[in-house]
Each structure stands twice: as structure tokens, then as C-alpha cells.
């Protein structure tokens, strides 16, 4: 039987908003900490290794997201299934899903290492990475991808803990590993003058530490989420269900990342200064995104557990309260980033022209970022309900399709070939996709209510 645990949240009973916040705030802090440590990488490189090194690290962001998002999407499948089985108190199914997911994490990490190390140079060339930063960018990417197995283990383990409402311990582990990362950055870059190689190596070491801590945590658990090495195997049914939910999420993540890679390639065409400013701005806006994304993750776990527990009456309430929370966070943090954008950009670079390029991005994206949060929460609700293909199709058409259409048509015209024009593809795609997701959610909820009515009618027929 499961025992009461101070780290877990009862998602199926009591008021929703306080528990949403109790779930989301530690996750938000974890993500912000992770970005702070990543920003420390950029700051150290920018201050002590120059703008070429800064551009080399920044130009990898979209590519890394493209390659990792596919496999991280599978962790969403594990999260949904563990939450549902845990809510339904199905212990055997929960354990099988956990052990399948963690073995899948190892396999995913190994594949990513091979892809990143072998194809780094050629992929960066396809992205039109400036020639003067290409060698540094390739070095950073190859070393970074040596830590992929550790990254996958941490992320899959965190997804499993989130499924039972535990977002605090991943925060503690990440904080510890992040401090080590910053110290190693200073040691490798400032003391040993290793430039981008030092930053990448520090990241790999910190990822290994966070992976070790989360595995140690799961192996010491006393209830049904306990991880045991001897039970690691691929359970066919659990694996197929993880793929059923996770693969569409993976493809959606890749589709967004692919469109971002195309946009990054377009940004690269404006030269080193714009690439550096864009990289610095991305790090700043990332704090807003991960803060909103915490409510996306909360919506998935809360919806999944309540579906497993048969608490269908709470589903709409979860969605509405998560949307209100994410809009508030997006508006407040996004506009604060715009107001204090230039002082924050000065942390990354002292050049006014580079700061100008960064402010162009912040002015468009950060002020409208709440739209992205609304879209993600809708996706989280649909995935929590077990519908993962629908958000992928909608995102393909509404977000990625619109962005690519703009880039390959209007953006190529001289009149629209500006940074502002390029960045406006983001809010436009968020609006279109959010509206489409709302329509899909209404259809799915009506279908779910119809199925429940049929089940009730069948029970009455069988028991007159």
C-alpha cells in the first residue's frame, strides 16, 4: 500500500488552485534555476570568451531543442500513464510503466549522443551557422551531447515524480547540480581558458549529478513508484501506450523546434551581432516560458490523475484555473522583461548594437507570451485526457505551417525582410493554434460526456 508522503500532492480531492500552485511553483523554480544556470553559461562565455563564442553557444539552442524534444516528448507519455494508474491505484501497471520509461530514457540518451556527436558539423552547416563560429559551435555541440543519457534519465525521472505530485525534490537536485555547473564554468573558462568546450563539459558533469540524485531518490522510495534495477525491462503494453501518448507529443515538440530552427537560420542571415543579441534575448524570454510551462505540466498531471480516479467533474475546473494562472504569469513576467530588457541584456553583452538586436525580439515576443501559455495549457488538458494526436495535428497546421509559410513567402520579400516581421510569426501562430485547440477541447469533452452517459445507461439496463 502507498504511504503518506510529504512530497506528494492529492490532486483528486479538495480545492484545485492552491494545489495547482503547490505543484507549479516548485516546478517553476526548477525551470528558472535551470535557465539561470544556462544563462550563467552564456554570461561566462560572453564576458570571458567573446561574442563569437557567445554566438557559437547561442546558435546551438534551437538545434539542441530539435534533437532532444523528440525523446523528451516520450517522457510526457510516461507522465500521463503513471498519473492515470496512480490515480486509479493500479500498482502493477504503475510499476511496469516506470521501469519501461526509465529503460527507454537510457536508450534515448545513447541514440542522441550518437546523432549529436556524428552529425554536429553537417547539421550546423545546414542551419547556415556563420563560418567564423562554426568550429566553436560544433565543439560545443559534440561535448554537450555526451551528457544526453544523464539528461534523459533526469527528465524521465522528474516526469514520473511529477505524475504523483512531487515537484520539490527535482528542484532540490537541480539546484545542487546547477551550483556545481556554475563553479565548473568559472573554473574551466576563466581559469583554464577552455572557452565553449569548458562550458559544455561543465554542463555534462552537472547533468550526471542531477541524474544520479533523481535515480537515488526513486530507488529509495517505499511505495509503488520505487525504482529497482532488476525490474528494468520494456513491457510491451506499457511501451506501446507510452508511444501512443508520447510520440505525438514528441513530433509536436520537434515540429515547433523545426520551425524555430528555420527561424534561427533566418536570424543567422542577419549576421553575428543579431545572432548574439537574439541568443541573449532567448535566454531572457526563456524565464517567462518555463514559468508558464509549469502550468502546462500541472494540467497534464492533474487531468490524468482525475481521469484515472473517475473525477470527471474536476476536469473543466482544472483547465479554467490553469488558464487564469498562466495568463497572469505570462502578462506580468513578459511585460517586466520588456520594461527591464536592456539592463538584463547588458548582463550578456556590453555592446549597444547587440542589445538593440535583443530588444527587437523581446518587444515582440515577451509582451505577447501569455498567448503561448494559453496554447500550452490547452495542449496539456488534451494530453491529460489521453488525446495526444489532436494537438500535434493542430500544431502542425496552426503553428508550424503558418510560420514556415510566412518565412518562405512574405519574409523573402524585401518589404517584409526585417527582424520584427520575422518575430511576429510567433504571436500570430499562438493565436491561431489556441483557437483551434479550444474547438478541439469542446469536441473532446462532449465525446467524453456522451461516453459516460452511455456507460450509465448500460448499467441501468443491466440492473433494472
Closest CA to 326 of 295, 305, 284, 361: 295
End-to-end CA distance of the chain: 36
Please tell me the distance from the alpha carbon of residue 44 to that of residue 53, in angstroms, as a whole number.
10
Please tell me the distance from the alpha carbon of residue 443 to that of residue 448, in angstroms, as a whole number.
9
In this prediction, residue 2 carries a pLDDT of: 41
Burial of 296 (0-12, 13-18, 19+ CB in 10 A): buried
Please tell me the distance from the alpha carbon of residue 184 to that of residue 178, in angstroms, as a whole number.
10
DSSP 192: S
Please tell me the distance from the alpha carbon of residue 64 to that of residue 144, in angstroms, as a whole number.
9
Q: What is the dihedral of CA 401, 68, 371, 307, to 10 degrees?
A: 100
The neighbour count for residue 254, using CB atoms within 10 Å, is 21
Closest CA to 12 of 283, 278, 311: 311
Kindly give the parts of the chain with pLDDT less than 70: 1-6, 38-39, 47-52, 54-56, 58-63, 65-67, 127-128, 257, 452-464
Burial of 438 (0-12, 13-18, 19+ CB in 10 A): middle
Please tell me the distance from the alpha carbon of residue 312 to that of residue 455, in angstroms, as a whole number.
14
Burial letters for 46-65: b for 16+ Cβ neighbours within 10 Å, e otherwise? beebebbbbbbbbbbbbbbb
Closest CA to 20 of 434, 311, 331, 319: 319
Closest CA to 52 of 360, 262, 279, 269: 279
CA 169 to chain centre: 18
In this prediction, residue 181 carries a pLDDT of: 87
In this prediction, residue 174 carries a pLDDT of: 86
Please tell me the distance from the alpha carbon of residue 137 to that of residue 64, in angstroms, as a whole number.
11
- Coil, strand or helix: which one is 448? helix
Show Cβ contacts of residue 365 under 8 Å, excluding neighbours closer than 6 positions: 281, 285, 423, 426, 427
Closest CA to 268 of 115, 136, 125: 125
In this prediction, residue 3 carries a pLDDT of: 41
In this prediction, residue 127 carries a pLDDT of: 66
Spatial contact of 73 and 376, defined as CB atoms under 8 Å apart: no
Spatial contact of 98 and 227, defined as CB atoms under 8 Å apart: yes
Q: Report helix, strand and coil shares of the chain as percent, to nearest 5.
A: 85, 0, 15
In this prediction, residue 462 carries a pLDDT of: 38
Report the sign of the C-alpha dihedral through residues 32, 34, 37, 43, in that order. negative
Please tell me the distance from the alpha carbon of residue 81 to that of residue 105, in angstroms, as a whole number.
16
In this prediction, residue 459 carries a pLDDT of: 42
Q: What is the pLDDT of residues 229-262, one digit of tens each?
A: 889 899 999 999 888 888 887 777 777 767 777 7
Show Cβ contacts of residue 236 under 8 Å, excluding neighbours closer than 6 positions: none
Please tell me the distance from the alpha carbon of residue 111 to that of residue 148, in angstroms, as a whole number.
9
Q: What is the pLDDT of residues 397-448, one digit of tens each?
A: 877 788 888 888 887 887 778 888 888 888 998 999 999 999 999 998 888 8
User: What are the helix and strand counts (H, E) for the chain?
Assistant: 18, 0
- Coil, strand or helix: which one is 287? helix
In this prediction, residue 51 carries a pLDDT of: 66
Amino acid at each position: 500500500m502507498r504511504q503518506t508522503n510529504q512530497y506528494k500532492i492529492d490532486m483528486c480531492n479538495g480545492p484545485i488552485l492552491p494545489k495547482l500552485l503547490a505543484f507549479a511553483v516548485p516546478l517553476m523554480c526548477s525551470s528558472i534555476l535551470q535557465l539561470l544556470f544556462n544563462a550563467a553559461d552564456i554570461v561566462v562565455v560572453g564576458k570571458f570568451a567573446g561574442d563569437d563564442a557567445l554566438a557559437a553557444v547561442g546558435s546551438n539552442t534551437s538545434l539542441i531543442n530539435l534533437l532532444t524534444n523528440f525523446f523528451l516528448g516520450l517522457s510526457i507519455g510516461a507522465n500521463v500513464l503513471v498519473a492515470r494508474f496512480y490515480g486509479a491505484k493500479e500498482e502493477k501497471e504503475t510499476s511496469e510503466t516506470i521501469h519501461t520509461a526509465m529503460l527507454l530514457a537510457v536508450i534515448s540518451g545513447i541514440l542522441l549522443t550518437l546523432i549529436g556527436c556524428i552529425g554536429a558539423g553537417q547539421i550546423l552547416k545546414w542551419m547556415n551557422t556563420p563560418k567564423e563560429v562554426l568550429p566553436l559551435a560544433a565543439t560545443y555541440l559534440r561535448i554537450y551531447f555526451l551528457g544526453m543519457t544523464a539528461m534523459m534519465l533526469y527528465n524521465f525521472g522528474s516526469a514520473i515524480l511529477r505524475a504523483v505530485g512531487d515537484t520539490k525534490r527535482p528542484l532540490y537536485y537541480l539546484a545542487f547540480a546547477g551550483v556545481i555547473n556554475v563553479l565548473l564554468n568559472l573554473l574551466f573558462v576563466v581559469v583554464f581558458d577552455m572557452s565553449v568546450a569548458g562550458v559544455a563539459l561543465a554542463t555534462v558533469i552537472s547533468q550526471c549529478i542531477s541524474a544520479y540524485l533523481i535515480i537515488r531518490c526513486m530507488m529509495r522510495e517505499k511505495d509503488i513508484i520505487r525504482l529497482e534495477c532488476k525490474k528494468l525491462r520494456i513491457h510491451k503494453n506499457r511501451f506501446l501506450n507510452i508511444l501512443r501518448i508520447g510520440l505525438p507529443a514528441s513530433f509536436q515538440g520537434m515540429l515547433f523546434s523545426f520551425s524555430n530552427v528555420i527561424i534561427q537560420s533566418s536570424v543567422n542571415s542577419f549576421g553575428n551581432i543579431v545572432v548574439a543579441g537574439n541568443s541573449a534575448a532567448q535566454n531572457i524570454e526563456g524565464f517567462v516560458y518555463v514559468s508558464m510551462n509549469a502550468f502546462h505540466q500541472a494540467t497534464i498531471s492533474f487531468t490524468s490523475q482525475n481521469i484515472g480516479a473517475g473525477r470527471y467533474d474536476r476536469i473543466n475546473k482544472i483547465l479554467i484555473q490553469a488558464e487564469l494562472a498562466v495568463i497572469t504569469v505570462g502578462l506580468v513576467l513578459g511585460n517586466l522583461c520588456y520594461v527591464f530588457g536592456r539592463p538584463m541584456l547588458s548582463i550578456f553583452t556590453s555592446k549597444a548594437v547587440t542589445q538593440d538586436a535583443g530588444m527587437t525580439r523581446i518587444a515582440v515576443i515577451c509582451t505577447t507570451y501569455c498567448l503561448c501559455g494559453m496554447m500550452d495549457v490547452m495542449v496539456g488538458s488534451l494530453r491529460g485526457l489521453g488525446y495526444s494526436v489532436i494537438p500535434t495535428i493542430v500544431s502542425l497546421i496552426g503553428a508550424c505551417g503558418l510560420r514556415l509559410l510566412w518565412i518562405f513567402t512574405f519574409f523573402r520579400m524585401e518589404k517584409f525582410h526585417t527582424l520584427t516581421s520575422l518575430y511576429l510569426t510567433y504571436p500570430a501562430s499562438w493565436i491561431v493554434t489556441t483557437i483551434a485547440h479550444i474547438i478541439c477541447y469542446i469536441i473532446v469533452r462532449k465525446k467524453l460526456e456522451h461516453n459516460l452517459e452511455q456507460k450509465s445507461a448500460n448499467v441501468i439496463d443491466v440492473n433494472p
